[in-house]
Amino acid sequence: MTTRIGKRAMVSSVQAASPTFAGISSSAGEILARALWRAFEIVSSAAALVLSIPVLLLLAIIIRLDSPGPALFRQIRLGRHFRPFTFYKLRTLYADARERWPELYAYDYSPEEIANLRFKREEDPRVTRVGRWLRKTTLDELPNFWNVLAGDLALVGPRPDIPEMVAYYTEEQKRKLSVKPGITGLAQTHGRGRLGFQETLQYDLEYVDQKSILLDVKILLRTVRLLISSDGAF
């Protein structure tokens, strides 16, 4: 895992390299930059979806053959300003996982449990055989690009949580929902599945405090490198 010192150095370098627009006020320049970045998100997400159609169709068949149930997984997540939206990804769990392992869906934690909670574990009984491979390759998240097109997600931002877990946020941690959630973020590029609940929220808040387009670019580039190595994915 990259050290927090290295991460802060990355953030500092991004701040120092913030873009300026000649003849345009800083606020107007920021609005223009954000509009251009959103246009980039739309174009790149649309391209990713179109190019991945054959892959998605093939994966859907494999998922259906591997275990009963739909290939597409839908779940309510909370986005910016606590707005609920339908989150899409390929199914990696057994369709009846909630009935088979109800204790894993109770979301009833003591303060001590929340302090040490880790959601991702390599031996999760709910994950199907194909689901393990999908998670390892991150192909299960391809439908996330639809959420980007719909405006629910950004390419970069804190990963959205389910309402049951947002209920455990402190007032300070609720600042995470002041920005649009994303497909990838600081937490996903600094530990990913190895991080605990509280560690993830710390990275999410640091992203909120340091948010910039150049930081987003750096996170995207780091994400590509991590996807190739499958580091932290399970």
Task: Give the pLDDT of residue 107.
Answer: 94
Banded pLDDT at 26 (limits 50, 70, 90) = low
Banded pLDDT at 9 (limits 50, 70, 90) = very low
Give dist(CA 71, CA 94) in Å, integer. 10
| CA atoms in the 13 A half-sphere facing the CB of 216 | 22
Please check the confidence at residue 79 and state whether its pLDDT lies above 70: yes
Determine the average pLDDT of the residues in 70-87. 98
- For tokens 């877990």, name the residue: 165
Give dist(CA 178, CA 7) in Å, integer. 22
| CA atoms in the 13 A half-sphere facing the CB of 110 | 2
Task: Give the pLDDT of residue 231.
Answer: 64
In the chain, domain spans:
26-229
- Cβ proximity of 185 and 156 under 8 Å: yes
Give dist(CA 97, CA 103) in Å, integer. 10
Give dist(CA 195, CA 232) in Å, integer. 9
Banded pLDDT at 19 (limits 50, 70, 90) = very low
Banded pLDDT at 228 (limits 50, 70, 90) = confident
Q: What percent of the chain shows pLDDT beyond 70?
A: 87
Pick the more confident residue, 199 or 6.
199
pLDDT tens for each residue of 97-148: 999 999 999 999 999 999 999 877 778 999 999 999 999 999 999 999 999 9
Please check the confidence at residue 10 and state whether its pLDDT lies above 80: no
Task: Give the pLDDT of residue 28.
Answer: 84
Please check the confidence at residue 2 and state whether its pLDDT lies above 50: no
Among 1-5, 113-117, 167-171, the least confident range: 1-5
Determine the average pLDDT of the residues in 181-187. 97
pLDDT tens for each residue of 196-222: 999 999 999 999 999 999 999 999 999
Determine the average pLDDT of the residues in 178-206. 94
